Amino acid sequence: MRAQGARGDGEQLDTRALQAAIDACGAAGGGTVYFPPGRYLTGGLRLRSGVHLQLEAGALLLGSKRLEDFPITTPRFRSYTDNYTERSLLYGEGLENVGIHGTGTIDGQGAAYEGPYKVRPYLIRIVSSRRASVTGVTIRDSPMWVQHYLACDDVLIHGVTVHSRVNHNNDGIDIDCCRRVTISDCNIWSGDDAIVLKSTAERPTRDVAITNCVLSSHCNAFKLGTESNGGFENITLSNCSIYETRLTGIALELVDGGSLDGDSIANVTMREVANPLFIRLGNRARPFTAGKAVQGAGVLRNVSINGVTATGANTTGCAISGIPGHRIENLSIENVSIEYAGGVSTAPEDAPEQEAEYPEYKMFGALPAYGIFLRHASGVRLRNVRTRTVKPDPRPALVGDDVVEFELRDSSLAATGSVVRLRDARGVMIQGCRIPATAEAFVEASGGLVSVCLMGNDLTRARRAVTGDDRAITLLGNYEGEDA
C-alpha cells in the first residue's frame, strides 16, 4: 500500500493510493491489503472480491470531513434504505469473500457532518455479497449508520468494538435482508440502536445468531424492526449484557408487514435500561419502494424469551401488544426478573391503540400495568416471572386485555392493589403463584371473561382472591387465608 503512494500522515488524502492497492489486490485474485501503523485520511473506498483489509495496531483509517470525497453509489438491490444513504467510507456490492480485520481503528469523524440522512455517509456498507467478515477492529464516530449489511449471505462479525455517539442515527450494526449471520463477542456503545435487524425489502432476514455481546445505546440495545417488509425468521440472541440504555433493552417490532417467526432470546442481563422489553405488532404498513402495494399487518408468533434479569426500569411498564384483529401468537416468557421504578400516583385504566404509529415503548404513555401490559395476544405463557417496584405503585403487576389461552405459572408479582387484571380474556390458567401480603386482591376481573382457572396458588396472604366479575372464574386447590 505504501508502494501505491499512501503517506499515512493524516494530512494528505490517501484515497487514490488506497483504492489502487485494493484494486491491484483484487485483480491479482485476492489477498490482504496491509495497513501498517499510521493515519490514513481517505474518502470513499470500493471493496473488491477476495480482498481483506488488515489494520495493524496503530493503524487509523480516517474518514474525510468533506462530503465530496465520497462518491454516490446506488445499489442494484433496491430497499427503503435508498432514502437513507448514497455514500459510504467502505462500500462493496456483489462481492465474494471480503473482509476487514485487525486491531486498528476506523474513525468516521462524524462530528464534522450536519444535516439530513444523505449528507452523512455510512462507514461500512456491504450489499448483495457472500462471505463478508469484519473482525477485531474498533469503529468510532460515524456520521450515520456505523455498519450496514444489506441482502448478504454468510456474514461474520466478531470481536468488533463500536464507539459512536457523535451524530444522529449512529446504529452500531444493521443486519438487513441478510441470511446466515453470526455476531459474537462485540462491544457496542452507540448513539442509536446498538444491534438492529431490519428487512427493508421483500427479502427476509433469517438464520441470525448473536451471542456474547455487551451493548449500550441512547436508543434500543437490540431491536428487530422497525422496517419489517420481508420479516424475521430463526433469530437468536443469547448471553448478552445490556447497560445504560435510554429506551428499550429488547424491542421486537413488526409494523410494515412481514412475519416475525421462530425467534429466541436467552440469558440477557440489563442494568439501567429504561424499558427492558417491548413487543409490538402494529400496522404502519409502509411500502419499501414507491408504487409497492401496502402489505398490511404481518404475523408475530413463536417467540421464546428465557432468562432475563433487569434493574433500573422506569415507570412506564413493558408492553406486549398486537392490534384489534391481529394478535401476537405463541409467546413464551420464562425465568424473568425485572425491577421497576414504580411510584405512579394515578393508574390509567387503558392505553390507546396507536395502530399506525411509529413503535416505541413510550407510545402508549404510562401503562395500566407497572410490569407487563399484555393486549391482543393468544397462546402466551409466562413462567417463573418476578416483578417488583422500588416505590409503591397502585397499578397491577400484570394486565391481560383481549387475551386467549393465556398461562401464568410459578410466578411472584409484587402489588399494592390487584396483582393481575383480566378483561376480555378466555382460556386463562393461573397456577402455582405466590401472592404478596401487600396486595388487595389476586385477580381483578372485568367484562368478557370465559373459562378462567386459578389453581394451586398460595393466597394465604391475600385479602381477597378475586374482585369484580368472578362468574367465569374457577378456584381449584388454592391455599387461602381466612379473609381470602
User: How high is the pLDDT of residue 294?
Assistant: 77
- Superfamily of domain covering 2-480: Single-stranded right-handed beta-helix, Pectin lyase-like (2.160.20.10)
pLDDT tier at 482 (50, 70, 90 boundaries)? low
Which region among 42-51, 356-365, 432-441 has the lowest average model confidence (pLDDT)?
432-441
**Mean pLDDT calculated for residue range 51-59:** 98
> Does the pLDDT of residue 349 top 90, yes or no?
no
**pTM of structure:** 0.96
User: How high is the pLDDT of residue 292?
Assistant: 79
Which set of grid coordinates corresponds to residue 29?
Answer: 485474485
User: How high is the pLDDT of residue 438?
Assistant: 86
What is the β-pairing status of strands 205-211 and 187-190?
unpaired
Average pLDDT, the chain: 95
User: How high is the pLDDT of residue 481?
Assistant: 63
pLDDT digits 0-9 by tens, 134-186: 999 999 999 999 999 999 999 999 999 999 999 999 999 999 999 999 999 99
Report how far residue 212's alpha carbon sits from residue 196's, in angstroms, rounded to the nearest whole number: 16
Which region among 3-12, 252-261, 303-312, 452-461 has the lowest average model confidence (pLDDT)?
3-12
> Does the pLDDT of residue 468 top 70, yes or no?
yes
Which set of grid coordinates corresponds to residue 365?
Answer: 404513555
pLDDT tier at 484 (50, 70, 90 boundaries)? very low
> Does the pLDDT of residue 474 top 80, yes or no?
yes
Supply angle C-alpha 382, 386, 391, rounded to 5: 135
Share of the chain above pLDDT 90, in %: 89
pLDDT tier at 293 (50, 70, 90 boundaries)? confident
Q: For cell 449500550, what's the residue?
A: 216
Which region among 80-89, 188-197, 287-296, 431-440 has the lowest average model confidence (pLDDT)?
287-296
For residue 391, give the nearest of 446, 317, 340, 442 by alpha carbon: 340
- Domain residue limits, the chain: 2-480
User: How high is the pLDDT of residue 50?
Assistant: 98
> Does the pLDDT of residue 2 top 70, yes or no?
no
**Mean pLDDT calculated for residue range 252-265:** 97
**Mean pLDDT calculated for residue range 26-43:** 97
Which region among 253-267, 388-402, 435-449 has the lowest average model confidence (pLDDT)?
435-449
